[in-house]
Structure 1
Amino acid sequence: MTILFVVLILAACCLLYLSHRHQGWLAQPLAARPWRWVGLLLLLLALACGLRSFSTIAAVFAWLAIPMLVFSVLPFFSLLIQRGRRGES
């Protein structure tokens, strides 16, 4: 259940990031309407998994801290993707 908690949070954060117009991974962002709702649903599902795995305080803390870390790191992956594309050509 713990691994599912982390995977759901990572997937939700990636969907929320990729549906934003300022994302740098894709040429065009994902459609905002369905994918943002799916991302929010995954975040809520992750909270439910966390509440079943951990104590309430630990689950809520991890549920808030992991997305904060992921949203801080995700924009920097676009730099790695661009570097890889330049190295291929």
Structure 2
Amino acid sequence: MRAQTGGASISQCELCPPGTFCPDPRTAGQPNTAGIPCRASFQCPTGSVMEVICRAGSYCTTQTGEPTPCPAGYFCPEGSHTYSSPQQ
């Protein structure tokens, strides 16, 4: 990611911040001047080039860099954006 277009090399770019992803401009066809916010149910750690489904045992709200562990006694399957009790 680079706040301004026109970088001469990849070394002039910064890693995409956590909670956002920055598709490779060579495949996206446009420069990355700002990260794209990560959707709920996905995680985007620092430097992400795509969203990754939230792992089981945790949940991911919008713009999650690192998933939040599911509280004890609650259920968080893969792709959770919140947690729910096992009875639900």
The TM-score bracket by the shorter chain reads under 0.3
* Larger Rg computed on CA atoms: 2
Give the alignment's TM-score, normalised by structure 2. Answer: 0.22
Greater share of strand residues, 1 or 2? Answer: 2
1 or 2 for the larger relative contact order (CA 8 Å, sep ≥6)?
A: 1
Give the alignment's TM-score, normalised by structure 1. Answer: 0.22
Greater share of helix residues, 1 or 2? Answer: 1
